[in-house]
Structure 1
């Protein structure tokens, strides 16, 4: 019985560290993510994207939030983050197309509803199993 208790304690100690969630914040290059082969293939040339800015003459249709997660198991944080960033961008693009718009402007990171505006970087949170990106932007019609 003592052996069983001792073995149970040892196993609990070994596996408890696996259960602790990792949540590493990364600020990664928008340009690098937008220039991947996947992004070039999957983002519609008819919808333009503007980070942390809105061009003059934009007619606001609505605002949108894309909060996406992806499986990060066995991937580097950077690879998982680029993939989930693309997923969020596709969601914003799809919303723009649905609304009859041709642009998404003023795109900002919006992880856990904390707004972070940057023309150069997006925020991604990566753990041992999942990675997540949340983006918020304005769906607009540009002239």
Structure 2
């Protein structure tokens, strides 16, 4: 009985460690922004520009760079859905910081996963495992006219 319990616990630990080691890269920003979470929680009063995307209008003031790291519970969600949710939560916080500082846009938005920065208009990086998913994003708050 002890051997069976040991084998069961060892197998469970191995599966958990393997599941937690998963990492997703190259996840679509467009898909995340089209998700229900984004539609319900990200009004378009602050514009987001990922990577080297150029904002419409002229930048009249640069306020500063802000970074937000967010992890969410990924249980009972696909990795993609959990990563999209983590990105939306981080963008909500970036939006709130922009509103508080009087910014109208956030430019140069980059994501970071396990120390590898991704600056792209199309994709973002997300660390995702069986129990949690996390996104780190940074961007420059600016005022445009």
Name the TM-score class by shorter chain.
0.7 to 0.9
Count of aligned positions: 140
Determine the C-alpha separation between the residues in 1 that align with 2:80 and 2:16: 22
From the superposition, tell whether residues 82 and 7 of structure 1 become closer, same or farther in structure 2 (CA, over 3 Å): same
Q: Superposition pairs for residues 8-23 of structure 1, below 5 Å?
A: 8-20=5-17, 21-23=20-22
Asked if 2 retains the 8 angstrom alpha-carbon contact of 1:25 and 1:123, the reply is yes
Aligned to 1:71: 73
Aligned to 1:129: 131
Q: Superposition pairs for residues 86-125 of structure 1, below 5 Å?
A: 86-125=88-127
Deviation at 1:41, TM superposition (A): 2.4
Q: Superposition pairs for residues 21-40 of structure 1, below 5 Å?
A: 21-40=20-39
Asked if 2 retains the 8 angstrom alpha-carbon contact of 1:33 and 1:86, the reply is yes
Deviation at 1:85, TM superposition (A): 0.9
Asked if 1 retains the 8 angstrom alpha-carbon contact of 2:112 and 2:126, the reply is no
Larger Rg: 1
Deviation at 1:32, TM superposition (A): 1.2
- The answer to whether 1:57 aligns with 2:65 is no
Determine the C-alpha separation between the residues in 2 that align with 1:18 and 1:37: 31
Q: Could you state the TM-score of these two structures normalised by the residue count of structure 1?
A: 0.87
Alignment RMSD: 1.8
Determine the C-alpha separation between the residues in 1 that align with 2:29 and 2:106: 15
Determine the C-alpha separation between the residues in 2 that align with 1:102 and 1:25: 31
| Structure 1 runs not aligned, ≥5 long | none
Deviation at 1:25, TM superposition (A): 2.0
The 4+ residue runs of structure 1 with deviation greater than 6 A are none
Asked if 1 retains the 8 angstrom alpha-carbon contact of 2:98 and 2:104, the reply is yes
Aligned to 1:45: 44
SS of the aligned residue for 1:118 comes to coil
| Structure 2 runs not aligned, ≥5 long | none
Deviation at 1:66, TM superposition (A): 1.2
Q: Could you state the TM-score of these two structures normalised by the residue count of structure 2?
A: 0.86
